Structure 1
């Protein structure tokens, strides 16, 4: 009988302990469930074939990401974790908005959401100087101005956004501040996309503290590439954005791409935005709810509406491939993705906790 009573007491103690542990879990420890079934990393290296564009790709970011994934087997898991964290914060924001006004229970702590408030990003410009493709102070100053216009909804062309997309226009509220310029004479006419320009050991310029500065490298890339960026999660030594010399800031040598929007587009990748068409078919998304589905890039200055995947393309979005003067908006959904990486635990949190 004593054995039975003792056994029952032990069982009660175990059950009580389990219950106590379950009750001790804080909201921060309870993981928000999100669907990751659509997540992808690898894409086609050539996103221009379907569009029929004959001048080659504008942006090398996805090609560079494919290379980095092959070179670093752990990168895919890191990108998955960043994406999951991003979706959890956005889901928490949506839940918080839905439950606004409802009473909060004592001891409840709200789930973290995308970073709120203004963001300032100091910028380092690293220039591999080519006498035939000069980068002047005027180019640099104009590029900083353009980035600030575009990321603060001050692009005057935004007034042309079709009414269908008006409610989606975002003020990303990021200010870019020039923090330093490094120049190095180079006779190299084509640096390619293997990140050599970012390493002094390969003739380039080493990054300046990428945890606290956005590094730009300005050089001749070659291969029809206007620029490329490294997504959050890659190696710190190569973190930043590369822009072709003729496409940095206002520059007549850049033609239709000489109005500084290559940097706006590539910084978008650095801030974790994908191409608006998702670099795939109609079912492959850019992970943003308020951008229409599409299966190809747009070029030139497309007329509205341009229809793909049975919806009107948001051709004026900075993450498409249209001419510089024909891109003039980010969306609220893109803004949420950007702000998630600055939140607690986000890949670029260091920029807001200096």
Structure 2
């Protein structure tokens, strides 16, 4: 068997009923591309019986339990044979036409990586946000700072670093490092997209203080040794500071938004319609994001209420 063009990395934790759709969404878009889907169990489950027999499916040993998504993803990454890699949560999916993966691969080969637009869907399937907006051709750190949602790169394997030991934002750090390795700006995929399917019990449904603590630790890591981001470390830190500020604004004010309301709040904030009474200038045009916290003010979040801002779509460990 020739080397796959792409390895899809799935960390599986209590997603037995959901992972078949995630896998189907990959294979349905793999026309013209050699893909492998690697499932790394993190709940002691052998996921092979949940899925059809297909030589494109591979599995790590099902022994580890609750080691964290970062550890499961690293187990998948360790056996990945693809020339490119992409992370997919077991309760999310890909969207696009049958040849969308091949098209994205062609775009990534020229640039080292390509950004997949993220479509956040509510439990009924209706779209809440699309990041970036349609028509965006390239995406870099400046645009990432305004996204306020996890975004994913389909990245050349040699540019992909191992996932760092964070419970909530390991994917964010992985993709920021991939963006840095690809030069700080990448094309936006023109056909393939990532679907965040919101469900109760996901990482999105996590207290804001937990996200705040991880943002703080990530910022300390970048300040200490650059976190493998090279000359792009200051830009990556600026992204995390701005996201942390939004997390505090939405989830740290003493009230907890319902599932999906983080993204509704962000959309309203950027449009100047939220919080109430904070309309933007210029007749409702896009507002700038909240001011990032200066490094000396990055203390702990006072309240544990609220939802986290990374916009995750995986089962809670």
Q: Could you say whether these structures have the same fold, taking a TM-score greater than 0.5 normalized by the shorter chain as the test?
A: no
Name whichever structure is richer in strand by fraction. Answer: 2
When the two structures are superposed, what TM-score results if normalisation uses the length of structure 1?
A: 0.25
When the two structures are superposed, what TM-score results if normalisation uses the length of structure 2?
A: 0.27
